[in-house]
Homo-oligomer: A and B are copies of this chain.
Amino acid sequence: MQNTGLKTAAIEKISHKEYFNIAVSVDCVIFGYEEKQLKVLLIKSDLKEFEGLWSLLGDLVTPNENLDDAPYRVLLERTGLKDVYLEQVHSFGDVHRHPSGRVVTIAYYSLVNIKSHKLNLTDNELHWHNVAELNSMAFDHKLILDTCLQRLQEKVLEHPVVFNLLPEKFSLRELQDLYQAILGQELDRRNFRKRINLKNWLVDLNEMEEDVPHRPGKLYKLKSGLKKISTDLNRSKPVKTHLV
């Protein structure tokens, strides 16, 4: 294997059984939002090593599917949703991360509107959990969750992705509550509105909230053309340096 990279010597060994004993999986951190809480969809682990603990939804990548298609498949199977927002985050591959064998997993997070899909919650091993209240999880899934949450926090500051978690129409108050749930901190209402306005993401619908127990706020929706399903690998705009 030395000094070959993926050159001939290594490639030849791909046909050798010894190099095929690492399995590849994907794990999905499926974020939702409800009642001012950021949620994550988890399933009860049924490994005896992790009895009582919760784990992310994942599956092995099959030989005939593209890596980035696997999390879509998992999501479709679990939630029935297509066209969800998905972003690849990081790969985890410590030798002993999975008790049953060597599994390298690629972590993705996705943003889904809890209301817009009927979970197979008859399968009562599948539940939404408050992200803020989660402690230990099965496998290294707490680390994966934390890593994905961190990525999400960075993402929402500059990109209009949180709208995948909201209904079509929403008030600025709802939007701010969502940002606060994701970022884990209180935001100043006046500065928040200024900032969001500056981003130019929203359309004023000239409608008002209804059935709220207080003064109704104006309703907005995301500008058409800004809704993203997945993250482009290739950046369209040049880097903002702040160093010029």
- Interface flags for A64-79 (1: CB within 8 Å of B; 0: not) read 1111100000100110
Q: Is A135 at the interface (CB under 8 A from chain B)? A: no
Separation of A18 and B21 alpha carbons in the complex (Å):
11
- Interface flags for A139-152 (1: CB within 8 Å of B; 0: not) read 10001001100100
Inter-chain contact A146/B234, CB cutoff 8 Å: yes
**The residue from B74, B123, B243 contacting A183, defined by CB atoms under 8 A apart:** B243
What is the oligomeric copy number?
Answer: 2
Assess A45 versus B95: contact at CB under 8 Å? Given A14-B103, A185-B244, A243-B187: no
User: A125's closest neighbor in chain B, by CB?
Assistant: B7
Q: Is A102 at the interface (CB under 8 A from chain B)? A: yes
Inter-chain contact B66/A94, CB cutoff 8 Å: yes
A238 contact set on B, CB distance < 8 A: 185
Inter-chain contact B100/A192, CB cutoff 8 Å: no
- Interface flags for A17-61 (1: CB within 8 Å of B; 0: not) read 011111111010000000000000001011100000001111111
User: A61's closest neighbor in chain B, by CB?
Assistant: B22
Residue positions of A touching B, CB distance < 8 A? 1-8, 10-11, 13-15, 18-25, 27, 43, 45-47, 55-68, 74, 77-78, 88, 90-95, 98, 100-104, 106, 120, 123, 139, 143, 146-147, 150, 153-154, 157, 179, 183, 185-188, 191-192, 195, 233-235, 238-239, 241-244
